[in-house]
Structure 1
Amino acid sequence: MTQRKRGPWTILKERLGYENPWMQVREFDVLRPDGAPGLYGVVEPKNAAIGVLPAFENGDTVLVGQYRFALEAYSWELPEGGGAVGADPLDAAKRELAEETGLSASHWCELIEFDVSNSITNERAHSYIAWGLEAGAPAREGSEADMQMRRLPLHEALSMATSGSIRDGFTLIMLMTAVEKARLGALDPDLSRSILSGLEKA
């Protein structure tokens, strides 16, 4: 392989270190920005991260709880999942919301797109707010058999986030972004009123 530059880094050699149906780990022999030799590993998920903040007219939202294998801990989160890289992330968001909660929504708004980590993975996250909600039956995967669902006022979800009861970074980002956009008037007016009404009950 011919040497190539990636910003101030020089890639000398690269190889596939590990692969499964959900991700691969690519390893690079490099010259660091200071010119010294180094080793860099990048986790490359085969799906983009997808998240949804459901917003009810009265200011409630929905959290789902499940045991997270990698963390060895139970976690309360907004509905999240994955969607194929290159596919429409909104389609994946609609699917994940229905699968995990049974909810469907008549209105959707892109919330925020961001990099999950700036050091070990190139995973990209896409998130949405869903409102105009209708209830249905969840259709969870086998890995989600322990999942619970909880409807609660938005201010309670925010309190869980600021107290450390919610530790999922994706959920924290979605909650804080939705509240700030509502306060700034950067969302649909009816949606903003719903979000802010969920805070006024605190």
Structure 2
Amino acid sequence: MMAGGRGPLLALLFLLHFLLPEAFKILILSFIGGSHYLMMDEISQVLHNRGHEVRMLLQTGVLMIPGRKYEQPDTYQITAWSASQDYLKEYEKWFADYTEDFLKGREDLSRYLDFMNHLAYQCHVVLNESEILNSLKDEKFDITVMDGFNPCSFLVAEKLGLPFVAVFPGTFANGPQVGIPSLLSYVPVFYSNLADHMDFWGRVKNCLMSLVL
């Protein structure tokens, strides 16, 4: 999945400059690889350089950009978790097929739902990492900064009892979780292929899809 440029990153850092004027303990949630991880890594580096104590909860084993790999940075700390190797091999094969379809314009709702199923399974894994989550809870972080694309990030923040700031690197697929208005009469549901001007049946479709996605 591709990140949407530096705009969201700059806006987030500008916001955090005013939200966190003093040194805070910040937990970064990064559960998707590729450019999503690179964005959260840069956010972590910048926050550390501003004097905050930063730790990233990172899912390892998910796909990275060719030529890049997960490394322990010299600045912030990392707590890593991962699904099983058998699952990761299955996911890597599925994601390669998904990417090929996407680049050829064959992406559809069923593929997106498959992707959400994979995220749901990965979420099940991390939510059952009781030792890791209890350890993070004991560290008493002040706030978490998350990649809002993955809905599991919100569940982890809730489980840890932490306030959060979410950054959306591409789409507002999980916008309602952070209070982004999503009135179904004129805000199209992600993957609905609708515009903001809908007739009656368009609004019916939008409402039904909101129950699925």
What TM-score do you get using the length of structure 1 for normalisation? 0.25
What TM-score do you get using the length of structure 2 for normalisation? 0.24
Higher helix residue share: 2
Higher strand residue share: 1
